[in-house]
């Protein structure tokens, strides 16, 4: 399981750090940061899910393994077949 925290909508309630202190830290004003890269071990899954569901502003989301998480850009997709070539002539695509 992987998660992402959107700090722009975190309202500093601190619920996440209470439920899953291994994955969330709070700054002096109570706003959360992720600890680590968002990867959640199976043993921590329940605590993190509780934090996710209890976050009043839904700042924590689960992301899929192949989903772009904003940390690194996905590489170019491998070309599996040649892209079709469209030639525009007189306003028509052929």
- Positions touching ligand SF4 (CB under 6 A) are 5, 10-16, 24, 32, 55-57, 59-60
Residue with Cβ nearer ligand SF4 (54 or 81): 54
Rounded to the nearest whole angstrom, what is the least distance from the CB of residue 28 to ligand SF4 in the complex? 13
Residue with Cβ nearer ligand SF4 (41 or 57): 57
Rounded to the nearest whole angstrom, what is the least distance from the CB of residue 21 to ligand SF4 in the complex? 11
DSSP string computed for 8-60: TT-----HHHHH-TTTEEE-TTS-EEESSSSB--GGGHHHHHHHHHH-TT--E
12 close to 30: Cβ distance less than 8 angstroms: yes
């Amino acid at each position: 399981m992987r998660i992402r925290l959107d700090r722009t909508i975190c309202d500093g309630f601190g619920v996440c750090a209470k439920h899953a202190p291994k994955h969330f830290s709070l700054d002096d004003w109570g706003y959360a940061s992720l600890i680590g890269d968002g990867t959640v071990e199976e043993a921590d899954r329940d605590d993190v899910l509780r934090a996710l569901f209890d976050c009043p502003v839904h700042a924590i989301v689960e992301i899929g393994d192949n989903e772009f998480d904003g940390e690194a850009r996905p590489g170019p997709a491998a070309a599996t077949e040649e892209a079709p070539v469209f030639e525009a002539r007189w306003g028509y695509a052929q």
